[in-house]
Structure 1
Amino acid sequence: MKRNATAVWKGSLKEGAGVLSTQSKTLDNTQYSFKSRFEEGVGTNPEELIAAAHAGCFTMQLSAYISEAGFDVESVETKCDIDLVDGTIITSHLTVNAKVKGITDDVFQGLVTKAEKQCIVSKVLNAAISSTATLA
């Protein structure tokens, strides 16, 4: 399986602007700029997209592990905070809230830790990965 995305940038770093498009067309000429990346501007940025990818990947992996353990997943919601310092992503923190019937907190926390280490995006990130998980 291969996936792709395209970035087009016009102009200098600070005054220029670009667009991002994905194979699925979920992003279709979606704007990004210096301001949307390093200040407060309209558009997306690479770090936001990495956070979305990490949250999505982790959430799917955790749901799979919970189901494999024999529990019914009502919902799993994950927020991912990426910390960019001096041009390097240094941390990715996952905040998880889940509703799972019949699971104990100890079992749930163990599955969270397993998913945190095993999701595909976690494996590709060169950053400290952490999580805080709560059962509702």
Structure 2
Amino acid sequence: MMDILNDLQNELIQGQKLSMQGAYHRRAPAKKAIPYLLSARRGLNLYVKQNTDNTLAWRLLSQAEEYLLNYNAALFSLQKVIELGGDRKDIKRLAMLKEYGGEWQDLNMSPEQLYSLGRYLEIKIDTYGCDHTLIHTKE
């Protein structure tokens, strides 16, 4: 069973590397990372159904959900870790996830919409330059 979990962890790590996301203030993952992240999430969901008391699996599932910007699911998984005896780092991470999840809700935009806005702004800035106003964002 640990081999399966190690494989899933490696797949998640590969997805994290390809995601082009920093450690703070998540954004939508790069397209090339999504298959790895989705596959890892799918496998981890199956794994925790069979191994409900495995804190590492729950922690990894929380990370996969976070990288996919599913903050509610990431919070749920991390709360499971804490219920099973998580440590101080898990509690800090839980607070951080709540904060980030709130920021995404405050934007009232899906990750896809935010990505589209970013692409649109890149095109506008490349074409017209940046005038340090919100004119293109308001468009």
User: Same fold, TM exceeding 0.5?
Assistant: no
TM-score bin (small chain): under 0.3
TM-score, length-scaled by structure 1: 0.28
TM-score, length-scaled by structure 2: 0.28
> Normalized per residue, which structure has more helix?
2
